[in-house]
Structure 1
Amino acid sequence: MAPELVILIISAASIAFVHTLLGPDHYVPFIAMAKARGWSLPKTLRVVLLCGSGHLLGSVALGILGIFAGIELTRLEWVESQRGELAAWALSIVGALYCVWGLRHAYRQRPQTAAGWHSHGGGSHYHEHLHGGDTHSEPTEAPPSGSLTPWAIFVVFVLGPCEPLIPLLMFPAATQSVAGIFWVTGVFAAVTVATMLAAVTLGQIGLERLKIPALARFGHTTAGAAMLGCGVAIGWMGL
């Protein structure tokens, strides 16, 4: 293996790792969604693996097409930037809708109080109280379709580009060989997905230890707000 290719491979791994950690959209939505829906860690990681693979395939396909079709780098970068803006808008919209639904869900699940006159020791007074262990709330409302939100996130990730892959890796690799292209993209993809899986695992395990009963019914709201925040961060703050 040529020394130049070794350097490219090391660069691919380093850039993939840093790019993934600096992009909160690579892991925060999954951690928040898993907490809100009570997913097991294996289920969460399956969703991450699916979305991460879709996230990479679009940019890899576009980069390889550009290399073999001789498309100018500036044109590919323009396409990637448009995909990035579209993904940011999509993530923001999905997050906002889910946040609104979460607020409605939390309102419907609020504890109910009973008020009235009660007699105590020959006297009576008026007060409100919660229904103890039989707390009353509105009928439980299921999340919007059991698989709808994960698939919505998958679509957003397919739209989202891997910005460093084309300008920093694909074209330098193309000057080496076809084998070099696949080595660099393979390492970049593997490190990206592995970093996503590791970050989500640590985040989910950490949140499982954090229990705040008063905020339990706001889990869906928090998940939606997290997705909305990530959309704003990548679309308007450049993260």
Structure 2
Amino acid sequence: MNQIILGSIALSLIHALIPSHWLPFITIGKAQGWDLPHILKTTFLAGIAHTISTTIFGLLASFAGFQLSNNQYIISSTIVPILLLGLGAWFIMQHYRAHDHSHINEKVMNGKTYKQLLFSLAIMMFLSPCFEISAYFLSAGAIGWPAVATIIVIYNFLTITGMLLMVWLGHHGIKRLNIHWLQHNEQLITGLTLICLAVFNFFTEL
């Protein structure tokens, strides 16, 4: 259970901190002339849409894990590391195949009312769930529904809080820093993190 919690914390924080989850809100908000509370409110609502879709997908993975609960050790020691390793390799390949990693296309936001913008942002975030954490939902499902509820709370709280924190920091000047490297390499960072978590998960289950 400890490796599930630690892995979920790591993935949640990384996804909240990568620019595609917060920088577009600052850019759009400043282009629209919004103040900070308005930008934070928009980030919160769109972030909720993002975590809802991820949670739905996670619950499906948890149900699969629940059906295989008699094989909980095999899931946590073999299947989860393989899934994390495969996802990590996929993200690394995506990094070298494409360089536009943003969930949100800021150009399509021009000329829309606030409600239209909010709806578009929420839909875009809803349709791009973070599938990477599904491996931990699968493992949690094999342990039991209290473990699943723990992962849901960790993921939702850290993702939303992290996004809001980064928007707040970005609005106060962190955006002036050179984050091009982070934007360009966010899929590589995610992939390497998943591979590290796969290795960690494998050795902690030995």
TM-score by length of 2: 0.63
- Once the 2 structures are TM-superposed, how far is the Cα of residue 199 of structure 1 from its aligned partner? 0.3
Whether 1:97 and 2:108 are equivalent positions in the alignment is yes
Aligned partners of 1:35 and 1:207 also within 8 Å? no
- Once the 2 structures are TM-superposed, how far is the Cα of residue 14 of structure 1 from its aligned partner? 1.9
Aligned partners of 1:34 and 1:204 also within 8 Å? no
The one of 115, 131, 149 aligned to 1:147: 115
The one of 4, 8, 17 aligned to 2:13: 17
In angstroms, what is the RMSD of aligned CA positions? 3.7
**1:198-217 equivalent positions in 2, closer than 5 A:** 198-206=165-173
Whether 1:161 and 2:174 are equivalent positions in the alignment is no
- How many residue pairs get aligned? The number is 160
- Once the 2 structures are TM-superposed, how far is the Cα of residue 64 of structure 1 from its aligned partner? 1.0
The one of 4, 19, 27 aligned to 1:8: 4
State the partner residue of 1:56.
51
- Matching residue's letter, 2:43: V
Q: List, as ranges, runs of 4+ consecutive aligned residues in structure 1 with deviation greater than 4 Å.
A: 69-74, 232-235
Report sequence identity in percent: 21
Aligned partners of 1:20 and 1:26 also within 8 Å? yes
**1:25-64 equivalent positions in 2, closer than 5 A:** 25-64=20-59
SS at match of 1:164: helix
* Counterparts of 2:13 and 2:103, CA distance in 1: 24
**Distance change in 2, residues 1:194/1:7 (3 Å):** same
The structure with the greater share of residues assigned to helix is: 2
CA displacement, residues 185-239 of structure 1 (integer Å, 9 cap, x when unaligned): 210111111110000001112289x8xxxxxxxxxxxxxxxxxxx8x9889xx99
**1:220-231 equivalent positions in 2, closer than 5 A:** none
CA displacement, residues 57-113 of structure 1 (integer Å, 9 cap, x when unaligned): 112112212332559998xx99xx9xxxxxx79833xx3334xx5xxxxxxxxxxxx
- Once the 2 structures are TM-superposed, how far is the Cα of residue 15 of structure 1 from its aligned partner? 1.9
- Matching residue's letter, 1:28: L
The structure with the greater share of residues assigned to strand is: 1
CA displacement, residues 25-66 of structure 1 (integer Å, 9 cap, x when unaligned): 100110111111221211211111111111011121122123
- Matching residue's letter, 1:179: P
Structure 2 residue runs without a partner (length 5+): 69-78, 91-100, 177-182, 192-206
- Matching residue's letter, 2:3: I
- Matching residue's letter, 1:198: L
TM-score by length of 1: 0.55
* Counterparts of 1:89 and 1:188, CA distance in 2: 20
- Whichever of the two has the greater Rg, that structure is 1
Structure 1 residue runs without a partner (length 5+): 82-87, 102-142, 211-229
- Once the 2 structures are TM-superposed, how far is the Cα of residue 7 of structure 1 from its aligned partner? 3.4
* Counterparts of 2:19 and 2:102, CA distance in 1: 15
Whether 1:189 and 2:156 are equivalent positions in the alignment is yes
* Counterparts of 2:46 and 2:185, CA distance in 1: 19
